Structure 1
Amino acid sequence: MRRLMKNEDGAVAVMASLLMVLVLGMTALVIDVGIVFAERAQLQNGADAAALAIAQECAYQDSCDPGAASLAAADLASANANDGRASAVVDLSVSNTVTVTTNTLTTDGDSAVQFWFAPVLGIESSAVQARARASWGSPSKATVFPFTAPKCLFDQTPTDEEIWITVTSNCTGTDGKSLPGAFGWLDTLDKKSCTATVDVDEIIAGDPGKSGPQNCDIDGKTIMLPVYVAKSGNGNNVNYVIDGFAAFYTTKHSWPGESIKEAGCNNCAGIKGKFITLVSLEDLESFGVEELGGDELNAFFVTLSQ
């Protein structure tokens, strides 16, 4: 009996078996969990790309086509997957927002990642998904070039038609009255500043008779142009009711004394350019935009919120 109790034959095999389970468990942790993380990264890339693309298209079209959005999401989800396969679900139930959820898609139509080593621990597979949300909106507050024009001028000017906005520009407002001198200078942040902070929820003070600010670099740039729907006061004490911000690509400017003479500008004071449709993924700060949620005119900013 004592001899049998001291016999250690087979002990190493038992220990090796136990260690093998531990080794396989660690291998499963490293390899299979790594597979999950890699899969989720691919799905997240697909969800981000799809959400941004759909948001841009909805902003451009001023509406969303659910069918087209679903097709785009599926294509972009698969394009960002290493194996070229992924599924996507699009949610457009929230105004000006799209949510895209991407999921694993295997050759047999399964939605789970199959593990290599984890089955030893009783774990065969795991569902993997990612989600992204993108929103789009127009400015409601921005620090911009201190120049405003009436909304009727924006409404009546075709997109991409080059015009001068000067003191002699005319348009008819919603009340049927003509608005001569269809531009106005806004009060700047300081005397030498080229900017004014405009909030659509506030009455903005202006000075329509002053000269143009000097050394302001606006030519060849897209600016956020505040447009007003009403004004009150005279001379240096004018107040504007701003309705929103329009994207305006400036090609030239003319301040008093610069003696520009061409069609639309005969020694005028004003800016030349065209209203354009702008859908931007750039940082809001690059256009001076501080807040979104204003009336939708022709400028939209797309942001990835999740």
Structure 2
Amino acid sequence: MRRLTRALVRRLLPRRLAGERGASAIAVALLIVPLLGCGAIAVDVASLYSDRTQLRNGTDAAAIAIASDCARGACGNTASTATGLVTSNTVRARAARATTSAPTVSVSGRQVTVTASADQAHWFAPLLGSSSSRVTATSRASWAPTSQGLAKFPLVISWCEYVGQMARDRNGNATIRVNATTDLGSTDTCTGPDGTTQVPVGYAVTNGDNGNASCGTTSRIGSTVTQYTGMYTTSYRLPVSCTNAYLGSLIGTTVLVPIWDQVTGPVGAQSLRVFAYAAFYLEGYDYINRSDDPALVGRFSRAALPSEVGTPASVSRSATDLTTFDPAYRGAYSVFLDPQG
């Protein structure tokens, strides 16, 4: 009986298999459209996402660059700036059969908007009737007066001093002699930025961060910084962390200079309220004898700095802008990308 069953299977199996020849071809024919659809999704859609990412990188870079130029006082050729940065950031996309159009740029107030698009030729989707798709990216960047930051040189100056320096040289060239106190016993004052309050003249060295372990001083508009207490207890005019090597590293860079509009407390431990920030391009310093008052040589300028505060939501767009008092005044501006909608 067992032998009979095996013989029957051997005789019937080839006939059954012969009757199913071509079934795979029929299945493939039936599934070819869904397979092409899956290919279009897997390859073409992924390519679109990649192109859009590269396009967004280009518009982000262009928006930041143009906003930085505008913050420094001259927006320049915005179309050329945007085209160059969008093009350089979409090399891979164009190599993958994407055609990038010329970006459009709009500057309004203290915000720049850059929009660019690219037409991506598909690999599989043409079989389904779609030969290409357009991807678009828009980026916005803003600039606003700096509301907080690190003064890499521990210095704060009076509103009177800033106004006086600009009055002496409208190009901003200045030599700042850093004195130990705000007034050295002087009662000289000037009218403050509010048009009423009398502000003491002078400069002051400030305590550095981390208990003077750092040479720089971090501050925020509306807050106070304190005089360097070692001015009257040591022979050094600056915190010991302000070495010649460190100060030398600042030459050729722009440093923030806080401007005070109010002084409280006793001489030697005075608190100075930060009203605004000026930007000072440091060309050199005179500090051969550490017991002497150092002098900074350079010029006040408009400067665009990356936002110190991390996220655009925490940037104060209402921070004091020195140019509202005089178009020739120089200030420090923070540049940042706005949230993308």
Please say whether Structure 1 and Structure 2 have the same fold, judged by a TM-score greater than 0.5: yes
Corresponding residue number in structure 2 for 1:184: 204
How far the C-alpha of 1:61 sits from its partner, in A, is: 1.5
* Greater strand proportion: 1
Query: In the alignment, which of 51, 66, 70 is matched to residue 58 of structure 1?
Result: 70
Corresponding residue number in structure 1 for 2:54: 42
How far the C-alpha of 1:150 sits from its partner, in A, is: 1.8
Matches within 5 A, 1:45-194: 45-61=57-73, 68-70=77-79, 72-74=81-83, 76-81=85-90, 82=94, 85-93=100-108, 95-104=109-118, 112-144=119-151, 145-155=153-163, 156=166, 157-159=169-171, 161-167=173-179, 173-174=191-192, 182-189=202-209, 190=211, 194=215
- Which piece of structure 1 moves more, 49-58 or 35-44? 35-44
Matches within 5 A, 1:246-265: 246-250=278-282, 251-254=284-287, 258=290
How far the C-alpha of 1:58 sits from its partner, in A, is: 1.2
1:277 aligns with 2:308: no
How many pairs does the alignment contain? 278
Corresponding residue number in structure 2 for 1:223: 255
- Check 1:122–1:206 CA distance in 2 against 1; reply closer, same or farther (3 A cut): same
- Check 1:253–1:219 CA distance in 2 against 1; reply closer, same or farther (3 A cut): farther
* Greater helix proportion: 2
Deviations 1:63-111 (A, max 9, x none): x68xx53554345434544266324333445x5332322212xxxxxxx
TM-score by length of 1: 0.71
Larger Rg: 2
- Which piece of structure 1 moves more, 245-254 or 79-88? 79-88
The CA RMSD measured in Å over matched residues stands at 3.9
Which amino acid is the alignment partner of residue 335 of structure 2?
V
In structure 2, the gaps of 5 or more residues are: 1-17, 322-329
How far the C-alpha of 1:43 sits from its partner, in A, is: 1.6
How far the C-alpha of 1:171 sits from its partner, in A, is: 9.0
Deviations 1:19-64 (A, max 9, x none): 32243233323432243134223322321222122111211126x6
- Check 1:215–1:161 CA distance in 2 against 1; reply closer, same or farther (3 A cut): same
Which amino acid is the alignment partner of residue 129 of structure 1?
T
User: Partners of 1:23 and 1:192 in 2: how far apart?
Assistant: 66
Deviations 1:117-159 (A, max 9, x none): 2143454443311232322233222343432112343341444
Query: In the alignment, which of 215, 218, 224 is matched to residue 197 of structure 1?
Result: 218
User: Partners of 1:32 and 1:270 in 2: how far apart?
Assistant: 63
- Which piece of structure 1 moves more, 38-47 or 230-239? 230-239
TM-score by length of 2: 0.64
User: Partners of 2:20 and 2:99 in 1: how far apart?
Assistant: 55
- Check 1:15–1:137 CA distance in 2 against 1; reply closer, same or farther (3 A cut): same
Paired residues of 2:113 and 2:141 also in contact (CA < 8 A): yes
How far the C-alpha of 1:176 sits from its partner, in A, is: 10
User: Partners of 1:18 and 1:34 in 2: how far apart?
Assistant: 25
How far the C-alpha of 1:192 sits from its partner, in A, is: 5.4
How far the C-alpha of 1:226 sits from its partner, in A, is: 0.8
User: Partners of 1:36 and 1:127 in 2: how far apart?
Assistant: 8
Paired residues of 1:207 and 1:235 also in contact (CA < 8 A): no
Paired residues of 1:187 and 1:196 also in contact (CA < 8 A): yes
Q: Secondary structure at the match of 2:37?
A: helix
Q: Secondary structure at the match of 1:194?
A: coil
- Check 1:304–1:151 CA distance in 2 against 1; reply closer, same or farther (3 A cut): same
Which amino acid is the alignment partner of residue 100 of structure 2?
R
- Check 1:57–1:254 CA distance in 2 against 1; reply closer, same or farther (3 A cut): same
Q: Secondary structure at the match of 1:243?
A: strand
Corresponding residue number in structure 1 for 2:325: none
User: Partners of 2:78 and 2:293 in 1: how far apart?
Assistant: 47
In structure 1, the gaps of 5 or more residues are: 1-5, 105-111, 260-266
Paired residues of 1:88 and 1:103 also in contact (CA < 8 A): yes
Which amino acid is the alignment partner of residue 303 of structure 1?
F
Corresponding residue number in structure 2 for 1:108: none
- Check 1:188–1:12 CA distance in 2 against 1; reply closer, same or farther (3 A cut): closer
User: Partners of 2:42 and 2:178 in 1: how far apart?
Assistant: 68
Q: Percent identity?
A: 27
How far the C-alpha of 1:246 sits from its partner, in A, is: 1.7
- Check 1:84–1:203 CA distance in 2 against 1; reply closer, same or farther (3 A cut): same
User: Partners of 1:171 and 1:17 in 2: how far apart?
Assistant: 91
Corresponding residue number in structure 2 for 1:264: none
1:28 aligns with 2:40: yes
- Check 1:15–1:180 CA distance in 2 against 1; reply closer, same or farther (3 A cut): closer
